[in-house]
Amino acid sequence: MDLSNSNTAENLSEAFAGESMANRKYLFFAEVAKKLGMDDLSKLFKDTANQETLHAFAHFRLLYPELAVEVPSTLTDEQKKAIAARCLELAIEGETYEYTTMYPEFAAQARAERDGGAVAEFKEQEAESREHAATFRRAAHNFGLLTNIENHHANQYTEALDSLNGKEPKKKAAGSDPATRKWICRACSNIYDPVVGDPDSGIAPGTPFEDIPDDWHCPICGAMKKAFVPYEEAVAA
């Protein structure tokens, strides 16, 4: 059945997105409940999150039936390679959209709202407006960070697809100059660029990673400084 131009395809895509979002939302709630010492409630949220994942997978299999693997032993090596390649192609497509379109647009909108709507409220609700402005500023900053993360993910998937197709991997190395050497968070792949710094956390542009205070944490996932490692980038031929 061809679903490429049907309303059902759009509905399946929306259902997949909704179930996926519910999964992450409930896992977040589970973490909150655990911190509050409510272990039974935390387990309930986790169990429900797992169920939402199963629902999402069911929708995704209908959207991409060519990726539904029932009996792996019946597949040839070429068929397995084709399925894996298709997964990587879809991953690259999604990550590329996020870093070229979605997050840049989100960042621009957040900056615009900070400068417009929040300022207009200053006279009547100064404190709330300041909070709004700070929220939009943080959102714009995080969207910018996520742009780099999704670019990194797209590059990783591209390298995996190249490897699957027999191409030699590109040589990679971390920078040698502390003033420009980037560092990557092992937990969420956020990349610290010393040229940019982290102004929202009090880290001025031009600050080498080694000079950041030890109590600094990742602005995306909250991981401590020790969770970062030198970021290896492709070396020019």
Residue 198, beta-bridge partner list: 203
CA-based angle 186:190:193, to the nearest 5? 115
| Domain covering 172-234, topology | Rubrerythrin, domain 2 (2.20.28)
Which class does domain 1-66 fall in?
mainly alpha
CA-based nearest residue to 154, from 192, 107, 100: 100
- Report CA dihedral (216, 219, 224, 229) to the nearest 10 degrees: -100
pLDDT for res 200: 84
Q: pTM above the 0.85 mark?
A: no
H or E element, residue 183: strand 183-185
Exposed / middle / buried, residue 198 (Cβ in 10 Å: 0-12, 13-18, 19+)? buried
Spell out the per-residue pLDDT of the chain, length 237, in tens. 555 667 888 898 999 999 999 999 999 999 999 999 999 999 999 999 999 999 999 999 988 999 989 899 999 989 999 999 999 999 999 999 898 898 888 888 877 776 555 445 444 555 555 565 666 667 777 778 888 888 999 999 999 999 999 998 889 999 999 999 999 999 999 999 999 999 888 999 999 999 999 999 999 888 999 999 999 998 876
Phi, psi of 230 (to 5 degrees): -55, 135
H or E element, residue 172: strand 172-174
| Domain residue ranges in the chain | 1-66, 69-169, 172-234
Amino acid at 196: V
* Intra-chain end-to-end CA distance of the chain, in Å: 47
pLDDT for res 16: 93
1-66 matches 172-234 in fold: no
